[in-house]
A and B are shown apart, each in its own frame.
Chain A
Amino acid sequence: MKAINFQKNELNFNEPFKGLFTQGMVCHETYKDEKNNWLSPDEVFTDDGKDFYKKIDKKVKVKVGPSESMSKSKKNTINPQEIIKNYGADAVRIFILSDSPPEKDVQWSDQGMVAAYKFVQKFWALHKEIIIQIKSNKVNKNHNKDFEQFTNQLINKVNHCLEKFNYNVIIANLHETYNFLKKNLPNLDKNFTENYIKIISLMIPVTPHLANECLVDLNHTQSIHWPEVNEKYLIKEEFKIVIQINGKKRALLTTGSEIKEKDLLEKVIKLKEIQNFIKDKNILKHIYIKNKLINLIIK
């Protein structure tokens, strides 16, 4: 075989896909008629969610099978086009993200879909009330730190969920946000708008149409960016760690979260009340119960 000069084709990365995420399937109950023919969800009806009957012949009871991945052959499909037409894209996006973590299978549910639609509607209604409040200038002159705290904690949570693909938790966060805003509607303060814009910006990835429309009402349509967390408003997690020597409590140490075992041990050894016990002695081993207790065995 003749020698061929190859052009140098090396690229500056080793693998084509750096991150990979595998999402679960969308599942739906399966239905069969008396002759064991598959029926689509459109062909069955139920009054109580327990007993199902054929729509065209209401005397015929339908056998409900297990929920399985949607497939044409089993007829257990839902047509997205219809659903988008009936409920809107944002509601569909909320529903499809809501019930299960993205890597797990999700069960289709009509009630879930309706709930997502209702959420969009009620959020919009609340938003309009908020806008009226803001524009009425009747807001509280006193600074209400709750808004900053809620907003920054929310940003922190949503960031975390986005990085970890916990998208279903973001939907739960949206519901919390609604409840918080609803409760605090009478107490809006002069800094509220600033925080509210941040909250709405967090909603863009999930409900881009609704969020952008809300931002128009807030006259915030230029240079929209992701809000930053102000660490000052985050709850700092603290742990009180019991320090034992040979099983007896000798001291208490307060630390921030996520202290490494090695670092904790170093700190403990330097404590005055502990040094008295351990000087001239050997630490044979230690037992650590994360964020709760450390027991030094000495001799």
Chain B
Amino acid sequence: MEKYNFKVIEKKWQDHWEKNKSFKTEIDKKKKKFYCLEMFPYPSGKIHMGHVRNYTIGDVLARYKNLNGFNVLHPMGWDSFGMPAENAAKQNNLDPKVWTETNVQTMKSQLKQLGISIDWDREISTCSPEYYKHQQKLFLELFDKGLVYRKENYVNWDPVDETVLANEQVIDGKGWRSGALVERKKLNQWFFNIKKFSDELLDELDKLDEWPNKVKIMQKNWIGRSFGCEIDFDIEGNSEVDKIKCFTTRPDTLFGFSFLAVSVDHPISKYYKKNKEFSDFRDKCSKTGTTEESIAQADKIGFKTDLYAIHPLDKNIKVPVYFANFVLMDYGFGAVFGCPAHDQRDLDFALKYNLNIKTVVKPINEEDTFNVSNKAFTDAGIIFNSKIFDGLKAPSESVIKAIQILEDKKIGKKKINFRLKDWGISRQRYWGCPIPIAYDENNNIVKVPLTELPIKLPENINLQTSGNPLDHQNDWKKINIDGKNCTLETDTLDTFVDSSWYFLRFASANNSDVPFDKDEVNYWLPVDQYIGGIEHAILHLLYSRFFFESYQFPKK
């Protein structure tokens, strides 16, 4: 019996598919479409087994739908900007472009050998000017809509890779690529105003009935809509400070109040500028990153001020005000009231600094003698030791009721807060999409005119520099806009920007005039089945959803 000679037979069919362009797709309005997409790979060298699995799963579906008479779009591209190329190039004295393109060729040939039914006529690569010129245009569109801005902000600084990391790229307080402990640093950064769409991004999740629940929950938690209250606390001890505003989700535990903690960047910090101990403390705080994980893991440390906060419902209660490393300026108002009995973090802090622990929520069947000592009680229960709040069911009744009372007394105000922060998109890196912005001689922001796009990356430059190699490209940085001498922005875009719209580009991959054609996008999109790893459940999918919202903004 003859053996099955897969080498010959598989090659024969792969050549056949290639020659006949068997998987080429065009719009056919008489047929039902099916857009099958696997998350495009980073061209790191060769395909790995994870790719084999991902693309085989997608290919099974694409071929099945195709045989069922669907007009199947099954494209492939390369997420080809990013640090590995720059690092590899630096180490081996190569050009990142050459390194990347070699890898693309290798991986493309490997995918063909696996028999994946790709329409290669729609291949895209995010590092090619053909792709990123459209991205620069889209950036400027968002800029015009007021969805892009620049501000000085604390960033997660990766001291090894010498770059800024998004919160999503910090895992357990460490850089997701380098593994180095992340630090806090103040820099001028570009941001996308993703926070603006918090409600939409959250509410639309409920309509995604073909998404795994766990992914929706992860996104929900990430956006983190919380319902709470802002409270003004009167302050004593310094004539310059009379009030501090806090945000809390648990105003019902107000009688368990035993300290007030503010961020080292809180406006009141200006009164402590000359205090040596305070500046030392502030330096110490900068060793903690800005993500919740790194804050949660870091030792809770505080700096006691000479201020006292007065309980808004009982003027006799006065508690100390601390600067603390676990409070950040960009959550709430950079100030929280501490209730150690019902928040573990507050309890850790109180035990460390010997602060009062007053229990104000007890389990339903407990006596009034119930007392928290070293484990915060955070379950549902009954409010006690709290005067007017006594007897309320916590938190179901008590939160709403507490807000009502505080509003009536004009001490507080109902407020919805989000955990989601704006998306920092600046990277101090060479191998990324240049930001189409320049600065005039007075450092004013100037948009690069559309006629000047794309702003191409300079090629074959010296990468053996400190910080961002683009900072050292003096000729490249010079640009004349409307007769004025300007300097180009040297930050490049986070590569998550590249991947937050590539699925739209596949609909019009060869259109050099526009990022995508609306008719083509309306025919092919949405992606009917998107397949990829759970590790992208938050960042990539949320950014893509944001990008899609912001593109359509403002809706009429």
Contact = CB atoms under 8 A, between A and B. Distances in A.
A128 B504 CA distance: 46
Main secondary structure on chain B at its contact with chain A?
helix
| Nearest 3 A/B pairs, CB to CB | A88-B6, A124-B4, A19-B210
Contacts of A90: 6, 10, 115
A233 B142 CA distance: 58
B4 A121 contact: yes
Interface in A62-76: 69-70
Interface stretch (B239-247, B310-318, B458-466, B533-541): B533-541
Nearest to B211: A20
Interface string B205-229: 0011011100100000000000000
Interface string B1-40: 1111011011011100000000000000000000000000
A78 B52 CA distance: 11
Contacts, number: 201
Contacts of A14: 204, 207
Nearest to B179: A73
Given A18-B528, A125-B1, A205-B61, A10 B555 contact: yes
Interface stretch (B42-50, B75-83, B328-336, B383-391): B42-50
Interface in B49-74: 49-54, 56-57, 59-61, 63-64, 67-69
B548 A4 contact: no
B530 A20 contact: yes
Interface in B519-550: 521-522, 525-534, 537, 541, 544-545, 548
Given A19-B210, A97-B57, 14 more contacts: A6-B554, A12-B522, A15-B208, A21-B531, A23-B53, A26-B50, A70-B50, A89-B115, A91-B6, A96-B56, A162-B61, A208-B115, A225-B67, A226-B64
B525 A13 contact: yes
Interface in A197-231: 201, 204-206, 208-210, 212-213, 224-226
B110 interface: yes
Contacts of B504: 16
A18 B49 contact: no
Interface residues of B, number: 71
A30 interface: no
B326 interface: no
A152 interface: no
A106 B56 CA distance: 14
Interface of A: 1, 4, 6, 8-23, 25-26, 69-70, 77-81, 84, 87-93, 96-97, 102-103, 106, 108, 120-121, 124-125, 128-129, 162, 165, 167, 201, 204-206, 208-210, 212-213, 224-226
A22 B6 contact: no
Interface of B: 1-4, 6-7, 9-10, 12-14, 46-54, 56-57, 59-61, 63-64, 67-69, 110, 113-115, 117, 144-146, 204, 207-208, 210-212, 215, 503-504, 518, 521-522, 525-534, 537, 541, 544-545, 548, 551-556
A80 B541 contact: no
A9 B48 CA distance: 39
A108 B49 contact: yes
A226 B68 contact: yes
A16 B548 contact: yes
A18 B7 contact: no
A17 B9 contact: no
A76 B552 CA distance: 45
21 contacts: A11-B525, A15-B208, A16-B504, A17-B211, A18-B526, A20-B208, A22-B215, A22-B534, A23-B53, A23-B533, A26-B49, A26-B52, A88-B6, A89-B113, A92-B56, A209-B9, A212-B13, A213-B13, A225-B69, A226-B64, A226-B69
Nearest to A100: B53
Given A93-B114, A226-B67, A9 B541 contact: no
A12, A18, A87, A88 — most chain B CB neighbours (10 Å): A18
Contacts of B533: 22-23, 25
